[in-house]
Structure 1
Amino acid sequence: MRVRIALAEKGLKYEYREVDLSNKSPLLLIHNGKPICESLIIVEYIDEVWKDRSPLLPSDPYQRAQARFWADFVNKEIYENGRKIWATKGTEQEVAKKEFIQDLKLLEGVLGDKPYFGGETLGFLDIALVTFYSWFLATSA
């Protein structure tokens, strides 16, 4: 989904193929005959190749590093605690729920009053996080 969102933001046409996520190929994007793997790396690649269209990462190196840091946080913390919520039971699940909510509160502080993490337009960190949106309501119950 991250790659599809990035491609849509850039207004790029692409060929979409369904894959079985439990048995997915590591080749998630093939551009000019070359495979690129892992969704956030692909999103960065798309942003670099088509940098003239709706930039996803900030131009400022510090802000770019911050976006990458928080996207890595989403990949590690949000994903792992969300996975524990639906894969465990009892005390482990309750701890994961609390940590998940704390992670979201931390990200909410980063977002502040802005409509998007990067300001006024959808960007890299938004794309990293938005694919987990369906977990938010389910984990707060």
Structure 2
Amino acid sequence: MMKAKDLAIRDNYVDLLKFLADHDEKVRVVVFENAPWNLKYIASKIQKDLVNSCVAKTIDAIISGMDDVSFYILVDESRDVSIREQMAGVSRYVNKRGQVIERFVCVQYVSDTTSSKLKEAIEQLISLTNLSMSRL
């Protein structure tokens, strides 16, 4: 049985897909008209895979836009609605034109908000995004 959160994500995803289909003929034809019933990309596993692919591409674009400059990671923690601790991460750097750029990078669940656990989460974030610790 699907959890309420999974149902909400599914509804949001299908609504977004419908919106795209209403505004893009190619999407409408492929997704709703010609796709076989088992290739509509609305199963929760497929949705998660697509979202994770988008996350990876977005983070890659953020990192490539940093042009090997030094950067900061701004971290804040809070609890979400389900009372789970989470950490939000933002990269901050100065580009070659002297502009300060901030990019939201992640929301990551953490088991605890002690400094050592947050440090572990930051190290994991840096590792997953292929950022250089020497530029931090």
Give the TM-score normalised by structure 1.
Answer: 0.26
Greater C-alpha radius of gyration: 2
Which has the higher relative contact order, 1 or 2, with Cα contacts under 8 A spaced 6 or more apart? 1
Give the TM-score normalised by structure 2.
Answer: 0.27
Larger relative helix fraction: 1
